[in-house]
């Protein structure tokens, strides 16, 4: 019998696989609604439901097993042609997935809260009629093999009886099949390979197998599988010969499969905390690499031509290359395709479009684009709000679209792509577009700006007002959107990720909102600058260009310094004023000023610094709870000489500038 301590690991595996199977069912039912005649798709969905039923029954989660069995009955009727795919049937199946997901979460958390399943079970049975179809499948799968059936010529019959105390009988059946894989051809089996999840403790597995290796090899390899007594019958021999059995079984399902000869492991599950620890260690190596490089440069300047210094130089270069390679590989491990997030949205769009009474063609592209796991988790809410707004506000009703000469079905696109060292995610619709004048009126009504300021504001700046808290152009509030809080969440979440938002819209044509995100938040390329005796790092993803200007070129508008720069009026922010220091010079603007032009959410500002130090890769560290959130700062980085550089947050500087403007206007 398996070690009881292994059950916690098995339950974790069950939860992970249950999440995957539920996602497959969600996607499968959505695809089945679009392609009801796809028999292969029906079989694929049936297998996912069948696997989930078997694994939940094995782990003792009977409520999950019973509900998935009811879903399986309906699917079995569909694949046998007794039932057609209908919108009502898909609705019932999707509701079943939702309830199963609740049951899985209840089991995961250990909550005693009851989950009502009677209503969805009744809905599934109502769609399938009697609801008894498919019940014979499990019975047939559990039936013992026909002992009198003749063994085909050239075949061995492999009979295995599962131990009565076996906790995961289906796993033992799969292990038998994995062992036989590549060693011949399975001619027949009872229960069928698709029904191994129904194998019960004390049940019998029978396989007629045409081997491509010797009987002795088959017997020896099957003998490594515990908790199932296997007999190999050769019709050319007078008696069956049982393979040797291991005295004690201590391997879990995962270990058993990995130990199968000739079955190489291709993937391994690794805890997220371990990846985070690895990334932190790589970050420390990057800091040390920079430090060693600085020491090597100092020694080379002082002891030029020394043999030891030359050796140190070679070792430093090699170490740098190895750390770069290690960093790149760890980054790749942390990267996940965005379809991990995107796959949950088709179901949401379907439900929202039905609730809004609109026809929506939802198109996803670029699912293979990869993004750091830590960022991937934080883009769910922003994309959710953007999609909700596109469906509820952006797209017109079918009647309105017909009157405007558009097809009654609107299109919403979710696109991901990589542009250099940034990921761009776009939500685009072919709806009514955003009226900048309506946005201005809503902002004035909310008190976000004065009527005079709204009159002077450009259309591009007005569109940024939709990200203000409480600003909404919706004519009425629905349970989907209209309260003016969703877009504020979008901006705050994207700014927290050091990202930017761009809005492109045309009245009557549609709207495209682009999210620009860094590939990772752990290590970034930055422009190092100095202000007095302090060092500030500005991420290169925010830097547009660097320049120099005369102090006389800087003027003021409403008390704020601005500069005529490349045809635009560029607001100026001096880091010495934003982050004052007792060591700062009395006159913080020299005759010749060094300027770093940064961009955030479509707005450019000039950041005045004393000098540029150069570009360098820096490791972002949190300021910690002692400092909390510091406006204009996203973190800190340890430099090679042991010093600390504050990492400038471009969106934060823009917010500081806007706040100062509002105070002066008041």
CB 346 within 8 A of CB 384: no
Sign of CA dihedral 660, 662, 664, 666: negative
Residue 393 is among the residues annotated as catalytic for this protein: no
Catalytic residue among 72, 159, 428, 495: 72
Residue 373 makes CB contacts below 8 A (sequence gap 6+) with 272, 275, 334, 335, 336
Three-state secondary-structure class, residue 43: helix
Q: Between vectors from CA 234 to CA 231 and to CA 236, what angle results, nearest 5°?
A: 155
Quote the tokens at residue 247: 């005295």
Catalytic residue among 389, 393, 426, 574: 389
CB 356 within 8 A of CB 392: yes
Residue 318 is among the residues annotated as catalytic for this protein: no
Catalytic residue among 24, 50, 393, 574: 50
Cis peptide before 191 (omega within 30 of 0): yes
Q: 557: exposed, middle or buried (C-beta count within 10 Å: 0-12, 13-18, 19+)?
A: exposed
Q: Between vectors from CA 423 to CA 421 and to CA 426, what angle results, nearest 5°?
A: 150
CB 128 within 8 A of CB 156: no
Partners of 557 in the β-ladder: 560
DSSP codes of every residue in 478-504: -SSS-SS-HHHHHHHHHHHTT-EEEEE
Displacement of CA 634 from its chain's centroid (Å): 23
CB 448 within 8 A of CB 471: yes
What is the β-pairing status of strands 534-539 and 543-550? unpaired
CA torsion angle for 396, 400, 405, 406 (degrees, to 10)? 30
Distance in angstroms (rounded) separating the CA atoms of residues 295 and 292: 5
CB 383 within 8 A of CB 433: no
Q: What are the C-alpha distances in Å from 581 to residues 534, 578, 585?
A: 9, 10, 9
Residue 280 is among the residues annotated as catalytic for this protein: no
CB 296 within 8 A of CB 312: yes
Provide the angle, in degrees to the nearest 10, between the axes of the packed helices 39-58 and 62-79. 160
Q: What are the C-alpha distances in Å from 553 to residues 2, 520, 589?
A: 79, 38, 12
- Tell me which residue of 487, 489, 540, 539 sits closest to 513, measured CA to CA: 487
Q: What's the DSSP call for residue 145?
A: P
Question: How many CB atoms lie under 10 A from the CB of residue 263?
Answer: 14
Active site residues: 50, 72, 389
């Amino acid at each position: 019998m398996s070690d009881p301590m292994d059950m916690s690991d098995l339950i974790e595996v069950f939860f992970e696989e249950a999440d995957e199977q539920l996602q497959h069912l969600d996607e499968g039912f959505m695809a089945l609604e679009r392609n009801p005649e796809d028999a292969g798709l029906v079989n694929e969905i049936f297998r996912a439901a069948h696997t989930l039923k078997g694994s939940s029954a094995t782990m003792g989660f009977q409520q999950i097993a019973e509900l998935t069995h009811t879903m399986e009955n309906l699917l079995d009727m569909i694949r046998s042609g007794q039932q057609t795919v209908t919108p009502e049937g898909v609705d019932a199946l999707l509701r079943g997935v939702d309830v199963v997901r609740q049951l899985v979460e209840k089991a995961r958390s250990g909550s005693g809260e009851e989950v009502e399943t009677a209503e969805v079970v009744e809905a599934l049975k109502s769609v399938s009629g009697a609801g008894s179809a498919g019940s014979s499948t499990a019975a047939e799968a559990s039936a013992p093999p026909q002992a009198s059936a003749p063994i085909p010529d050239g075949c061995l019959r492999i009979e295995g009886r599962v131990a009565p105390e076996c906790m995961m009988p289906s796993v033992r059946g799969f292990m038998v099949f994995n062992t036989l894989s590549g060693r011949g051809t399975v001619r027949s089996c009872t229960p069928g390979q698709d029904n191994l999840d129904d194998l019960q403790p004390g049940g019998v597995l029978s396989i007629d197998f045409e081997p491509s290796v010797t009987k002795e090899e088959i017997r020896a390899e099957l003998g490594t599988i515990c908790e199932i007594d296997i007999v190999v019958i050769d019709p050319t021999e007078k008696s069956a010969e049982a393979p040797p059995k291991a005295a004690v079984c201590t391997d879990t399902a995962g270990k058993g499969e990995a130990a199968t000869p000739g079955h190489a492991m291709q993937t391994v599950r690794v805890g997220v905390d371990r990846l985070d620890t690895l990334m932190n260690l790589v970050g420390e190596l990057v800091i040390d690499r920079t430090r060693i490089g600085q020491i090597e440069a100092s020694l080379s300047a002082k002891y030029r031509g020394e043999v030891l210094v030359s050796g140190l130089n070679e070792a430093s270069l090699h170490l740098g290359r190895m750390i770069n390679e290690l960093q790149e590989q760890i980054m790749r491990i942390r990267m996940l395709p965005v379809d991990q997030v995107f796959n949950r949205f088709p179901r949401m769009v379907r439900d929202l479009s039905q609730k809004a009474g609109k026809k929506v063609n939802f198109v996803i592209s670029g699912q293979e684009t990869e993004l750091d796991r830590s960022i991937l988790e934080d883009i769910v809410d922003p994309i959710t709000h953007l999609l909700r707004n596109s469906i509820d506000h952006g797209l017109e009703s079918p009647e309105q679209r017909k009157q405007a000469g558009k097809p009654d079905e609107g299109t919403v696109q979710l696109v991901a792509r990589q542009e250099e060292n940034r990921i761009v995610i776009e939500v685009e619709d072919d709806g009514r577009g955003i009226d900048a004048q309506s946005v201005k009126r809503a902002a004035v009504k909310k008190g976000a700006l004065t009527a005079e300021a709204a009159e002077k504001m450009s259309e591009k700046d007005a569109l940024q007002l939709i990200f203000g808290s409480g600003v909404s152009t919706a004519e009425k509030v629905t349970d989907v959107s209209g309260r003016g809080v969703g877009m504020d969440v979008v901006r705050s979440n994207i700014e927290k990720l050091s990202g930017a938002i761009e809005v492109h819209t045309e009245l009557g044509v549609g709207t495209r909102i682009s999210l620009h995100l860094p590939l990772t938040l752990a290590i970034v390329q930055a422009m190092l600058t100095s202000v007095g005796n302090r060092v500030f790092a500005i991420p290169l993803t925010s830097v547009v260009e660097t320049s120099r200007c005369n102090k006389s070129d800087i003027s003021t508008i409403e008390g704020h310094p601005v500069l005529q720069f490349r045809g635009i009026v560029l607001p100026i922010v001096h880091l010495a004023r934003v982050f004052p220091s007792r060591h700062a010079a009395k006159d913080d603007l020299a005759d010749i000023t060094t300027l770093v032009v940064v961009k955030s959410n479509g707005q450019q500002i000039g950041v005045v610094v004393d000098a540029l130090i150069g570009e360098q890769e820096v490791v972002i560290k949190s300021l910690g709870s002692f400092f909390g959130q510091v406006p204009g700062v996203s973190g800190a980085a340890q430099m090679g000489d042991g010093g600390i550089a504050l990492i400038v947050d471009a969106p934060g500087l823009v917010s500081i500038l806007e706040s100062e403007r509002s105070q002066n206007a008041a």
